[in-house]
């Protein structure tokens, strides 16, 4: 079967012929119908993130935002069979540790990120295996098509968890969203849909235009602003209730924290680049005196899909609005390259394998 594979960090991915996966007893093999292309793929391709223990090596098939159909079932799998329409979260849990048992599989003890490690080849391929399939597979409702599901991928669900579970967003809250890539635009749409007031910050007018279309109450071009936190304070009458760093560089993180009102909540969603290597200095005394909360947020516990699907069904949320262009598998190398310059708008989705 065909797959997009890392040959060397930073060198264009190559489309290769690789063996079709055989399911282990706990696994299913999914025939890929759609898969999002994400900044996390770009990071892995650059060789980032060894500072927290993920080193994606040459030979890796990337791709972690899939939707597809079960094509083959391991001997121990009980709940899924051939032909089922499914998706999986990018953080495949073991199903047995204390976090998985308590409904927090996104922070599983032995979390296996799909498409980033040898043991979990990804979905930039005609098919891919899923560990602990009974635990990780999620049935796709009829109302959600494959492309929309791939758009929900990691960024939309990450933004949903960040806003609802980690920030405890309330209607009327002002939310400053720093960085309007896939996760940032998702956060704009979700915040607006849930009755909050999103303020979108980015350096590209095209992304700010998209944010306005998705319901941003105000936008700030960080390249033109002398003082980004000051501008957020001006448009929110004293500071945001919630701020999100949806990019993961020192500047957006500090701007996000600085844009908060007293007792505001910062949610860090973006993982850092090799520039920061996981370390960003913050105004801790100010945060203490102003009772600012700093939360990390990673993916979304799979138990939360039900609520997301209900809101999609009700027409409140529409992940398809964040989908950018649709691509064929052979377009992936060029799309990934263009992410270095932040040229993609919305979430590119492969729908042709
Ligand atoms: Zn676990
Ligand atoms: Zn992703």
pLDDT digits (tens, 9 = 90+) for 22-65: 999 999 999 999 999 998 899 899 988 888 888 899 999 999 99
For residue 235, the CA-to-ligand 2 centroid distance in Å is 31
Query: Which residues have beta carbons under 5 A from ligand 2 (an ion)?
Result: 38, 40, 154
CA of 14 to the centre of ligand 2 (A): 20
- Asked if the model's pLDDT at residue 167 lies above 90, the reply is yes
Q: For residue 105, how far is its CA from the centre of ligand 1 (angstroms)? A: 6
Q: What confidence score (pLDDT) does residue 53 get?
A: 81
What does the pLDDT look like over 59-112, one tens digit per residue? 999 999 999 999 999 999 999 999 999 999 999 999 999 999 999 999 999 999
Give residue 90 CA to ligand 1 midpoint distance, Å. Answer: 13
Expressed in angstroms and rounded, the spacing between residue 40 Cα and the centre of ligand 2 is 5
The mean pLDDT of 217-234, rounded to a whole number, is 97
Would you say the C-alpha torsion 246, 217, 198, 189 has a positive or negative sign?
negative
* Residue 347: per-residue pLDDT: 87
Indicate if the pLDDT at residue 343 is higher than 80.
Answer: no
Contact predicate 117/79, CB 8 Å: no
What's the gap in Å between 247 CA and the centre of ligand 2? 12
Distance 39 CA to ligand 2 centre (A): 6
The CA 86 to ligand 1 mean position distance, Å, reads 20
Q: Pull the structure tokens for residue 287.
A: 């945060």
The Cα–Cα gap between 218 and 208 comes to 9
Nearest-angstrom CA–CA distance, 62 and 121: 7
Ligand nearest to the CA of 181: 2
Centre of ligand 1 to C-alpha 287, Å, is: 33
Residue 206 DSSP symbol: H
Closest ligand to residue 298's CA: 2
pLDDT digits (tens, 9 = 90+) for 269-289: 999 988 999 999 999 999 999
Determine the pLDDT at residue 6: 96
pLDDT at 340: 77
C-alpha distances in Å from residue 277, one per residue of 17, 186, 243: 34, 25, 22
Q: 159 falls in which pLDDT band (50, 70, 90)?
A: very high
Q: How many CA atoms lie within 13 A of 159 on its CB side?
A: 32
How many whole angstroms from 71 Cα to the centroid of ligand 1?
A: 25
Q: Is residue 161 within 8 Å of residue 304, measured between CB atoms?
A: yes
Q: How far is the CA of 104 from the centre of ligand 1 (A)?
A: 8
**pLDDT at 341 (0 to 100):** 76
**pLDDT of 310 over the 80 cut:** yes
Task: Calculate how far, in angstroms, residue 244's C-alpha sits from the geometric centre of ligand 1.
Answer: 27
Residue 117 C-alpha to ligand 2 middle, in angstroms? 14
Q: How far apart are CA 252 and CA 267, in angstroms?
A: 12
> How remote is the CA of residue 16 from the centroid of ligand 1, in Å?
32
How many whole angstroms from 211 Cα to the centroid of ligand 2?
A: 19
What mean pLDDT comes out for the span 333-342? 86
Task: Give the ligand at the shortest distance from the Cα of 111.
Answer: 1
What are the b/e assignments for 272-281, b being 16+ CB within 10 Å? bbeebeeebe
Distance 323 CA to ligand 2 centre (A): 13
**Ligand nearest to the CA of residue 269, numbered in listed order:** 2
CA of 327 from ligand 2 middle (Å) equals 16
What pLDDT band is residue 314 in, cutting at 50, 70 and 90?
very high
What proportion of the chain, given as a percentage, has pLDDT over 90? 88
Instruction: Quote the pLDDT of residue 287.
Output: 98
Distance CA 198, CA 218 (A): 7
Question: Helices 332-339 and 39-46, interaxial angle, to 10°?
Answer: 90
């Amino acid at each position: 079967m065909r797959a997009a594979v890392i040959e060397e960090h930073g060198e264009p991915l190559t489309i290769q012929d690789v063996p079709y996966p055989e399911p282990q007893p706990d696994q299913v093999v999914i025939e890929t119908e759609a898969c999002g292309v994400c900044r996390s793929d770009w990071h892995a391709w650059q060789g980032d993130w060894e500072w927290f223990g993920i080193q994606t090596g040459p030979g890796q098939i990337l791709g972690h935002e899939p939707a597809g159909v079960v094509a083959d079932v391991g001997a121990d799998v009980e709940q899924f069979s051939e032909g089922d329409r499914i998706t999986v979260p990018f953080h495949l849990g073991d199903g047995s540790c204390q976090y998985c048992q308590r409904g927090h599989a996104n922070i599983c003890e032995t979390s296996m990120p799909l498409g980033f490690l040898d043991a979990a080849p990804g979905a930039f391929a005609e098919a891919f295996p899923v560990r602990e399939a009974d635990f990780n597979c999620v049935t796709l409702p009829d109302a959600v098509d494959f492309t929309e599901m791939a758009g929900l991928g990691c960024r939309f669900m990450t933004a949903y968890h960040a806003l609802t579970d980690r920030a405890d967003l309330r209607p009327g809250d002002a939310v400053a969203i720093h960085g309007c890539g896939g996760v940032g635009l998702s956060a704009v749409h979700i915040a607006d849909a849930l009755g909050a007031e999103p303020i979108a910050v980015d350096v590209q007018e095209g992304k700010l235009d998209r944010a306005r279309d998705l319901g941003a109450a105000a936008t700030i071009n960080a390249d033109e602003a002398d003082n980004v936190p000051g501008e957020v304070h001006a448009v929110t009458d004293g500071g945001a209730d919630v701020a999100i760093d949806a990019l993961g560089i020192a500047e957006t993180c500090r701007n996000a924290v600085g844009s908060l009102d007293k007792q505001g909540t910062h949610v860090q969603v973006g993982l850092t680049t090799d520039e920061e290597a996981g370390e960003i200095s913050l105004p801790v005394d100010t945060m203490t005196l102003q009772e600012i909360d700093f939360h990390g947020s990673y993916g979304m516990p799979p138990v939360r899909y039900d609520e997301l699907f209900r809101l999609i069904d009700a027409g409140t949320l529409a992940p398809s609005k964040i989908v950018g262009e649709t691509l064929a598998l052979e377009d992936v190398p060029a799309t990934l390259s263009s992410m270095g310059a932040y040229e993609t708008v919305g979430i590119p989705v492969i729908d042709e394998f």
